[in-house]
Structure 1
């Protein structure tokens, strides 16, 4: 079974290549990019900065294109929201992902530990191997035709960070999908669709569909039905060693649209299938708590820098976990 744990980020040689991934270039994003580039050029002049080949590529950076011959990247820096990190993951969907340092640009998210104002401390701690990373599990997906052979054009496994989803799309009919776990038939699902998520993805689409919240350090697969016909069809959690096969039944009245981390891939017809299992290539995400200064320790209850669980903080701050209606109202009142 894969071990998904927090560990110290150690560069055996000084980092030499940083990939910048950002959302749409608003003025706020443009200013943040200029600030980051100025800081990197002044303090780390030997570090090369790359960017995707897009029309809005910042001036003075090098073009980077994904693929087997791509320049080796030592660190990914994202500017945006959770979707920006998912996009960064998709750039490395066929192999290992470099460490990811993510900055929030005014949005909240489970994958955004750093505010852009903390750029100097975050970059220094990361580039000098003083940060820790959480290895967030990804899943790999293989696609098969009705004859069991790989579908044309899908010969390689895709790596997904949040979830894969089979859904009925615009069809008025429910999907009928056969579910197999480690080769054993589990059930026939009649529903709007099915989600297989990682622990990281358990707070995304799966949560909205009624799935459980799973700590990202766990190694597990979450199977969540979307509006099932049977009220006894509840979400299930499997060990990461499991292999889950979703096959569109020959009796299904609707094809199944396939979405990988929210991006439409293709449509599976009756007899076609996708097999999902844990990927060998998790995403190493840099933790905020690991770079806190000693003076940030507060007296009384709590834990010190490097030991705080970012996830526990986030489910309280972002989800307002177990907050009553009354306490939410008081919270809003206290902010005015």
Structure 2
């Protein structure tokens, strides 16, 4: 798409740095209404970018993030100059989020999308006790842990990596199933799953060992079961600079201290 065809809308996180960057860019390039733009320029950190990706799902809009946050793994470098040119040559990456369907102790059902991961965490001093099935086949009859997560390739360098899960190349058709402080089985380090599977996690001893479920930033308290599967009918598009491709970022992340 040529620079003359780009319609840019600027959005920013609620921080002084992001706000100042947004004002500088609008002064240079103007600002199309969000609903009318075909490219959204997101200024902030990874969390803010995930929020914008959720808002633009299936809209055909592409999201180009620039880092005005802390880590910014998902973001491009911030520069004011040559923005139209950068956007025109950026590489588009399609993302299908995970869909979480969680049922709580009252029987209420909640759904939410996750670009990074769906996680379950113990809610009290008691470790969680969970049963894990994959495509309706029991894989772990009993997992005692602080928590467990299913992470996408995009999310594999986030909380999944901090929990000693594997980093997944963006193009890999895989999900990471990663425990948090597994106590039993003590030596279980997680698993790599095809991204077409459905994972069901059932909470055992619900009253004694309450568990919360989180899809990125959406939390459901006191769940009894959680179903996790990749959403095939929802797509978000993120743009990255050619010299900062996803493969390069993931490769570099594996060689950092």
TM category (shorter chain) comes to: 0.7 to 0.9
1:74 corresponding residue in structure 2 = 38
CA shift digits 1:262-284 (9 cap, x unpaired): x2512134xx2111111222432
CA shift digits 1:119-151 (9 cap, x unpaired): 44333343xx5432122342111223579x7x3
Matched, 1:208 2:162: yes
Partner Cα distance (2:170, 2:191) in 1: 16
Aligned partner (choices 62, 75, 80) of residue 99 of structure 1? 62
Partner Cα distance (1:73, 1:141) in 2: 30
Instruction: Report the TM-score when normalising by structure 1.
Output: 0.66
Q: CA RMSD in A?
A: 2.9
Q: Is the 1:196–1:221 contact (alpha carbons within 8 Å) kept by the matching residues of 2? A: yes
Indicate how the Cα distance of structure 1 residues 96 and 145 shifts in structure 2: closer, same or farther if over 3 A, else same.
farther
Indicate how the Cα distance of structure 1 residues 73 and 183 shifts in structure 2: closer, same or farther if over 3 A, else same.
farther
Q: What is the correspondence of 1:1-336 to structure 2 with a 5 Å cutoff?
A: 14-16=5-7, 18-26=8-16, 28-41=17-30, 48-50=32-34, 71=35, 74-92=38-56, 95=58, 98-105=61-68, 107-113=70-76, 115-117=77-79, 119-126=80-87, 129-144=88-103, 151-152=108-109, 154=110, 157-169=111-123, 171-187=124-140, 188-229=142-183, 230-250=185-205, 253-261=208-216, 263-269=217-223, 272-280=224-232, 281-289=234-242, 309-313=245-249, 315-316=251-252, 319=253, 321=255
Indicate how the Cα distance of structure 1 residues 286 and 142 shifts in structure 2: closer, same or farther if over 3 A, else same.
same
Partner Cα distance (2:177, 2:25) in 1: 40
Indicate how the Cα distance of structure 1 residues 178 and 92 shifts in structure 2: closer, same or farther if over 3 A, else same.
farther
Indicate how the Cα distance of structure 1 residues 137 and 225 shifts in structure 2: closer, same or farther if over 3 A, else same.
same
| Matched residue SS, 1:167 | strand
CA shift digits 1:146-191 (9 cap, x unpaired): 79x7x34x3xx4221101110013x110111111101111112111
4+ runs deviating over 4 angstroms: 13-16
Bigger RCO (CA 8 Å, 6+ sep): 2
CA shift digits 1:8-61 (9 cap, x unpaired): xx59x9455x443322231x33332122112222xxxxx6233xxxxxxxxxxx
Q: Is the 1:257–1:264 contact (alpha carbons within 8 Å) kept by the matching residues of 2? A: no
Instruction: Report the TM-score when normalising by structure 2.
Output: 0.85
The gaps in structure 2 that reach 5 residues or longer are: none
Q: Is the 2:170–2:246 contact (alpha carbons within 8 Å) kept by the matching residues of 1? A: no
1:299 corresponding residue in structure 2 = none
Please identify which structure carries the higher strand content: 2
Indicate how the Cα distance of structure 1 residues 15 and 72 shifts in structure 2: closer, same or farther if over 3 A, else same.
same
- Structure with higher Rg: it is 1
